[in-house]
Structure 1
Amino acid sequence: MQAAPPVRATARPSVTTALRAVESLLMSGGQRTARRNAWTSVLEDRRRAKDRSEAELALQDSPHTARTS
């Protein structure tokens, strides 16, 4: 009986890793940083909007808030 050949385990890069590699080839460092900063700002704006919406709903549901409708 012949022994099985050794198995090589190599991790495939994730989609994110592959995209960042392509991004680094296509863009200079300054553009890459600016793009990441812009995306971080978008995510932060979304988080703040969600927080405002949740706070507004909480205030509307509060029995201590005077309603002006």
Structure 2
Amino acid sequence: MQSATTVRATALPSVTDALRAMESFLMGAGQRTARRNAWTAVLEDRRRAKDRTEAQHVLEAVASRRS
């Protein structure tokens, strides 16, 4: 006769979760918000720079076809 075994799995916190927990512990809410806003601005600047580069390549390709 076999007995039923119960398997429990607990998810370990991810690195991101651990970093957010440390951030919450070390900084006030205002600092956290400012930091996240700053990071969002960095990501947006990178996206715009990528878009500018792609547009420049398209314009150069069009210009080279005309000449």
Question: Shorter-chain TM-score category?
Answer: 0.7 to 0.9
| 5+ long unaligned stretches in structure 1 | none
Distance 2:18 2:5 in 1: 30
**Count of matched residue pairs:** 65
User: What TM-score do the two structures reach when normalised by structure 2?
Assistant: 0.85
* Residue number in structure 2 paired with 1:21: 21
* Residue number in structure 2 paired with 1:34: 34
Identical-pair percentage: 69
Distance 2:19 2:3 in 1: 40
Structure with the bigger RCO (C-alpha within 8 Å, sep 6+) is 2
| 5+ long unaligned stretches in structure 2 | none
What is the Cα-based RMSD across aligned positions, in Å? 1.6
